[in-house]
Structure 1
């Protein structure tokens, strides 16, 4: 039996997603200026002209990799579980699916690689404010919410460095070690988000 021919719309969606996935991988490994649209297109298996057709420009594609509406870093997070939610982004357990954890980590690595870029830096700052700092601050509320959100984000960035540069992977630890890692990391996030001042 001859399989049905995919619709043009379905092909367009699949092509767009393939380009986006390829761009995420490249921007997570290289500085913004070192990533070319031909490389992204080649890894996605599409003609380079399609990158411009679907995204318009390299800047627009970069922005889209950071602001993927399907993978909200706050999905499933509440004020009460936010510290544990952030900790689980780096663990192979909990309620966050592995593909979402991978995308969150790629986004953090992208920020690390390109924050100093003149072109990408402004996009990154706007994205951090709109998609991370703002939502976290609104969720936690209370005194110094913006400061506490920024401190939690600093921990997220530090974990991204540890995951990539130091090649520390808690999923390869024993169950006991992994549990201790999760407990300590949750406490760190909780301290950053705590509205009460010491002393």
Structure 2
């Protein structure tokens, strides 16, 4: 006969539990569309009750909003000028694929998978406006600044998608790639 197993109570750590829920949500939103992700799956992966997810975050929408901010938000355009922007963005986007972090690829998957959801795409638009469009608009003179910032974002996302897909031509880090990307960005902000 086997000796009884003494189960010890699970240690409670609110910060660790909250972080585990965020990581679970990030993985779920990267794998499935916003509509297909439920609080039960997020909670189940962590081993907690779905009500606890609601208690920590309030709603699936609020959780999604917290999951979505990009790891570089608020930092990558700090101190940038319109003149330096094309070369800077070209450099960022032409790094070899081995340097592209898993977090950035995961973020891009979340953004792409949420595109079909009215609720999630609204949040994505708000975050992209705050983190990219508004700062780029501020750098540019007023004439068509919103349109030019949107074109910059289009080139950024298009390049990031191709890098994530492993299109080596864009991710090999050579100077020709940087030069062409800088030309695209310069044309976008003109």
| TM-score between both structures, scaled by the size of structure 1 | 0.69
> Relative to 1, partners in 2 of residues 1:138 and 1:71: Cα closer, same or farther, differing over 3 Å?
same
> Relative to 1, partners in 2 of residues 1:156 and 1:41: Cα closer, same or farther, differing over 3 Å?
farther
The higher relative CO (CA closer than 8 Å, separation ≥ 6) is in 2
Match in the other structure for 2:110:
110
In the TM superposition, what is the alpha-carbon distance from 1:42 to its structure 2 partner? 4.5
Say yes or no: does 1:152 pair with 2:152: yes
What is the alpha-carbon distance in structure 2 between the residues aligned to residue 31 and residue 18 of structure 1? 20
Report if the CA contact (8 A) 2:163-2:171 is conserved: no
Match in the other structure for 2:185:
189
> Relative to 1, partners in 2 of residues 1:172 and 1:88: Cα closer, same or farther, differing over 3 Å?
closer
What is the alpha-carbon distance in structure 1 between the residues aligned to residue 29 and residue 175 of structure 2? 32
In the TM superposition, what is the alpha-carbon distance from 1:73 to its structure 2 partner? 5.2
- Greater shift after overlay, 133-142 or 11-20? 11-20
Q: How many residues align?
A: 175
Report if the CA contact (8 A) 2:163-2:170 is conserved: no
What is the alpha-carbon distance in structure 1 between the residues aligned to residue 137 and residue 166 of structure 2? 30
Match in the other structure for 1:55:
57
Q: Give the SS at the match of 2:40.
A: helix
Match in the other structure for 2:20:
18
- Structure 2 residues not aligned, in runs of 5+: 1-11
Aligned runs of 1:80-159 on 2, under 5 Å? Answer: 80-92=83-95, 102-159=102-159
Match in the other structure for 2:31:
29
In the TM superposition, what is the alpha-carbon distance from 1:106 to its structure 2 partner? 3.2
Match in the other structure for 1:162:
162
Q: Give the SS at the match of 2:174.
A: helix
Q: Give the SS at the match of 1:67.
A: coil
In the TM superposition, what is the alpha-carbon distance from 1:76 to its structure 2 partner? 4.7
RMSD over aligned Cα, in angstroms? 3.1
Deviation per CA, 1:175-199: give whole Å up to 9, x if none.
Answer: xx633323322322222123xxxxx
What is the alpha-carbon distance in structure 2 between the residues aligned to residue 21 and residue 88 of structure 1? 29
Larger Rg: 2
